[in-house]
Amino acid sequence: MKKIMLSLSLFILLSAYLMSCSYLRSHVAIEVLPEYIKKVYVKSFNSINQFDIEIEFTDAIEKEIIMDSRLSLADTEEEADVVFIAIIEKYVLQPLTYEKDKRMGKCKLSIEANISLVDKNKNVVWKDSNMERMYIYKDYVCNHPYNEMFYDRMSERKARRVIFNNFSKYIVRQAVK
């Protein structure tokens, strides 16, 4: 009797899981870029005045487009079929823990951006507003006899790179289906 009940409950759980998966898949709209879109130009803006951050973001998106290989990069906005527009809206570096000497230990970097894919006629092909990614890392500081020397397992710059790579993978996967 116990074996039958166990088998029955496993069957019900497995059935419920499979039904939920098919439900999720069937209701997700599968968007495919129009046939005319072959070239993309990546343009990013920095609305927060964080030095050169938009260049890092643009580079990450361009690298992901190249790796994905469904679209090619255009050199200018005029020769592109669509333009990726990435606007960095928020950049927050927040200390989570402090070391004994009151320096930051663990930090959380959070970046928010508005992303859109716009064609030549200014029609929005794809858009994701207030997209946020964050990364927690530990920053190490060491006192050197000559000066203060920074070394780390994961610095703020590396954390930015991780976040931008995460953004770019998501953006290209979502926008270029």
pLDDT in tens, 133-146: 999 888 765 554 55
The total number of residues shown for the chain amounts to: 177
Angle between helices 156-175 and 53-68 (to 10 degrees): 40
Query: Which of 14-23, 44-53, 106-115 comes out lowest in average pLDDT?
Result: 14-23
Residues 6+ apart with CB under 8 A from 121: none
What pTM was estimated for this model as a whole?
A: 0.71
Question: Do β-strands 124-138 and 141-143 pair in parallel, antiparallel, or remain unpaired?
Answer: unpaired
49-90, pLDDT tens digit by residue?
788 888 999 999 999 999 998 899 999 999 999 999 999 999
